[in-house]
Chains A and B, each alone.
Chain A
Amino acid sequence: MKYQSQRVALGYFAVALSLFAVQVLAGLLAGWIYISPNTLSVILPFNIVRMIHTNALVVWILMGFFGAAYYLVPEEAEHELYSEKLAWAQLIILTVGALGAVVSYLVGIHGGREFLEQPLWVKVGILVGALIFLFNITMTSLAGRKTAITNILLLGLWLLSLLWVFAFINPDNLSLDKMYWWFVVHLWVEATWELVMAAILGFLMLKLTGVDREVIEKWLYVIISTALFSGILGTGHHYFWIGAPGYWQWVGSIFSTFEVVPFFGMMSFAFVMVWKGRKNHPNKAALLWSLGSSTVAFFGAGVWGFLHTLHGVNYYTHGTQITAAHGHLAFYGAYVCINLAVMTYALPLLRNREPYNQALNIASFWLMTSGVAFMTFVLTFAGTVQTHLQRVMGMYYMDVQDQLWLFYAMRFGAGFAVVLGAILFIYSSAVIRRDRPAAQAALQPGE
């Protein structure tokens, strides 16, 4: 840690990892309800469990992004944060908001637009938190060195905060509601968040491989160009069947096909940088998470997204378990892994240690990644059967679901592996054994 104020990132990472635990536990419970539907059906129905699962995910990913920015921007700007106090205040506002949202869901207070169920006061809190963050981080950046990495990171974070305004706009006309709702949901995960991901990945490559900054930053601009050129009009793949005009079927199909490109670009970029770099960085776990993130994101967001994005295919698969399969692998690869990568890289530095618990950390990567991959495969099979029976043969929904029990049972098993992996990751990040040397001490062989 070169700058004292970077330590606020520790607070953000801690809250993010706590919410990560909440997210996967709620997911496990939801997976259990699929195979044993009477569980808690009166006191904690499925819709509440799912809201906690998805909301905790979104909030912890954002917390991780904020933490990553507070770690990365001082280092890139070569300047202390504009205000450490503001950063702590922001953390408190967001944490209170997140806990408030979970408690309100449990007592039945929530909105009903998917992922945007937060009560109004929480939404306003998120807006205030985001504004404090943007102010703080922009002032820091302006005071110091300006790099393409901070530039791209800030652009992504500014745009995603601006798009949050659409969380407050809820037209009475359902089709209009859906069209603008995607401004938050799609333009977050398939546009602005990709900028954040690319910036973090670029930073990690810079630190872990030692490749020249000029090369890294040039390719970052190329990658994010392909992300926005495809991703903005790619929103059209959500406008096929919501009451929007028919031309979206072509626009959405063509541009969302190109959405594979930035993910392929990020994967190639990460591997080429590692090959070209001559640095033998001691933090092997962070390197694994970085490469893993770009690879799994390519398969989850790129390949599994393309699988059902062409309108002729999507006509049959829209809103089946195929969507669920894609969603899980894409979110895990792109946003869970990149967050865990930056945490794995930054935590030893923030805590003034040599990289610690690397074997456990690496084991958690393989456990979680195989779990989510297995889950994706079984849900894809479930979705294929569902698509055929329900969308081609016209069998009723519940009759079809009764045929899918085996897939859901296997999904629960996969989810269990993910939860174990997540607990292992949290343990390996939080706990440092006493006999481990501090950063100044020499590395032991084999460590």
Chain B
Amino acid sequence: MSEVLTKARARNVFYGGSLFFAAVFVAMVAQSHHFIVSSSTASQPLTDQVILGKQVWEENSCINCHTLHGEGAYFAPELGNVMTRWGVADDPEGAYQILDGWIQAQPSGIAGRRQMPHFTLTEEQTRGLAEFLRWADHTDLQSWPPTDAG
């Protein structure tokens, strides 16, 4: 074993193999990039409202309580399909109304219940957030999540 596998040979296998796998990975990511843009997220346009909504989502660090497509913190419900749960995935005005109502009602102050902080958003921001969540809801996620509970 020690004659066949010298340090120099082990090093060469490491560099050669890693470069090979990195090249395969980059090629697959390039193909996936194309797939995401042209197929899985193509059913809804990426409007200015959606982009604004993503900024609102980020500035308020929603991800550190909620998950979005299963990623984030596990303290509060999944929001990638919240518009489906609310039955407004294809209803922009309904999505805004119900989201706005929800945000205005927080925090609930109920004892023993997890509290969502109060966020002061303009109407434009809330509309953006609703559109962003509707946009995310239409992404083809390979039929994830298994149930509407998220």
- On A, residues with C-beta under 8 Å from B are 33-34, 37-38, 41-42, 45-48, 50-51, 110-114, 117, 148, 172-179, 214, 217-219, 221-222, 224-225, 228-229, 232-233, 235, 239-249, 251, 315-316, 318-321, 323-324, 390-398, 400-401
Partner of B142, one of A38, A117, A249, A392: A249
Min CB distance B65 to A, Å, is 5
- Please determine whether B142 and A228 come into contact, CB atoms closer than 8 angstroms: no
Partner of B58, one of A112, A179, A390, A400: A112
Report the nearest A residue to B114, measured CB to CB.
A37
- Please determine whether B150 and A244 come into contact, CB atoms closer than 8 angstroms: no
**Contacts of A34 on B, CB cut-off 8 Å?**
75
- Please determine whether A178 and B69 come into contact, CB atoms closer than 8 angstroms: yes
- Please determine whether B148 and A394 come into contact, CB atoms closer than 8 angstroms: yes
Q: Contacts A45-B115, A114-B64 hold; do A243 and B54 have CB atoms under 8 A apart?
A: no
Min CB distance A188 to B, Å, is 15
**Contacts of A177 on B, CB cut-off 8 Å?**
54
Partner of B144, one of A318, A390, A398: A318
Q: Contacts A176-B33, A232-B22 hold; do A243 and B7 have CB atoms under 8 A apart?
A: no
Sample of 18 A–B contacts (CB below 8 Å): A37-B113, A38-B111, A46-B114, A112-B63, A117-B64, A172-B46, A173-B36, A174-B68, A174-B136, A221-B13, A232-B22, A233-B21, A242-B69, A315-B146, A319-B71, A391-B146, A397-B76, A397-B78
B70 interface contact, C-beta 8 A: yes
- Please determine whether B62 and A244 come into contact, CB atoms closer than 8 angstroms: no
- Scoring A38, A42, A239 by chain B CB atoms within 10 A of each residue's CB, the highest score goes to A38
Report the nearest A residue to B70, measured CB to CB.
A319
B74 interface contact, C-beta 8 A: yes
Partner of B14, one of A117, A175, A224: A224
- Please determine whether B35 and A50 come into contact, CB atoms closer than 8 angstroms: no
**Contacts of B24 on A, CB cut-off 8 Å?**
232-233
- Please determine whether A251 and B144 come into contact, CB atoms closer than 8 angstroms: no
**Contacts of B140 on A, CB cut-off 8 Å?**
243
Report the nearest A residue to B85, measured CB to CB.
A396
Given A46-B64, A319-B72, A396-B77, 8 other A-B residues pairs in contact with their CB atoms under 8 A: A37-B115, A42-B118, A47-B61, A51-B61, A172-B54, A251-B28, A318-B145, A319-B71
- Please determine whether A241 and B70 come into contact, CB atoms closer than 8 angstroms: yes
Give the CA-CA distance A6 to B149 in the complex, in Å.
Answer: 54
Number of A-B pairs, beta carbon distance below 8 Å: 207
Partner of B150, one of A42, A321, A397: A397
Report the nearest B residue to A217, measured CB to CB.
B7
Secondary structure at the A interface, as helix, strand, loop or mixed, is helix
Min CB distance A216 to B, Å, is 10
- Bitwise, B71-103 to A at CB < 8 A (1) or not (0) is 111111110000000000000000000000000
- Please determine whether A225 and B61 come into contact, CB atoms closer than 8 angstroms: no
- Please determine whether A390 and B54 come into contact, CB atoms closer than 8 angstroms: no
B123 interface contact, C-beta 8 A: no
**Contacts of B121 on A, CB cut-off 8 Å?**
none
Report the nearest A residue to B148, measured CB to CB.
A394
The 6 residue pairs across chains A and B that have the minimum distance between CB atoms? A112-B58, A319-B70, A47-B64, A221-B10, A394-B147, A41-B115
Partner of B40, one of A42, A225, A243, A320: A243
Q: Contacts A148-B11, A391-B149 hold; do A245 and B71 have CB atoms under 8 A apart?
A: no
- Please determine whether A390 and B149 come into contact, CB atoms closer than 8 angstroms: yes
- Bitwise, B124-150 to A at CB < 8 A (1) or not (0) is 000000001001100111101111111
Q: Contacts A50-B64, A218-B10, A229-B18 hold; do A244 and B58 have CB atoms under 8 A apart?
A: no
- Please determine whether B61 and A112 come into contact, CB atoms closer than 8 angstroms: yes
**Contacts of B111 on A, CB cut-off 8 Å?**
38
Partner of B5, one of A110, A173, A222, A401: A222
**Contacts of B60 on A, CB cut-off 8 Å?**
112
Report the nearest B residue to A316, measured CB to CB.
B146
Give the CA-CA distance A242 to B35 in the complex, in Å.
Answer: 12
- Please determine whether B65 and A47 come into contact, CB atoms closer than 8 angstroms: yes
**Contacts of A315 on B, CB cut-off 8 Å?**
144, 146
- Please determine whether A241 and B63 come into contact, CB atoms closer than 8 angstroms: no
- Scoring B41, B64, B139 by chain A CB atoms within 10 A of each residue's CB, the highest score goes to B64
Q: Contacts A112-B57, A221-B10, A245-B35 hold; do A318 and B68 have CB atoms under 8 A apart?
A: no
Min CB distance A337 to B, Å, is 24
- Please determine whether B58 and A173 come into contact, CB atoms closer than 8 angstroms: no
B105-119 with Cβ < 8 A to chain A: 107, 111-115, 117-118
- Please determine whether B13 and A225 come into contact, CB atoms closer than 8 angstroms: yes
- Please determine whether A319 and B67 come into contact, CB atoms closer than 8 angstroms: yes
- Scoring A37, A48, A214, A251 by chain B CB atoms within 10 A of each residue's CB, the highest score goes to A37
Report the nearest B residue to A35, measured CB to CB.
B112
Partner of B107, one of A42, A248, A318: A42
Give the CA-CA distance A400 to B113 in the complex, in Å.
Answer: 13
**Contacts of A217 on B, CB cut-off 8 Å?**
7
- Please determine whether B142 and A324 come into contact, CB atoms closer than 8 angstroms: no
Min CB distance A250 to B, Å, is 12
Min CB distance B96 to A, Å, is 19
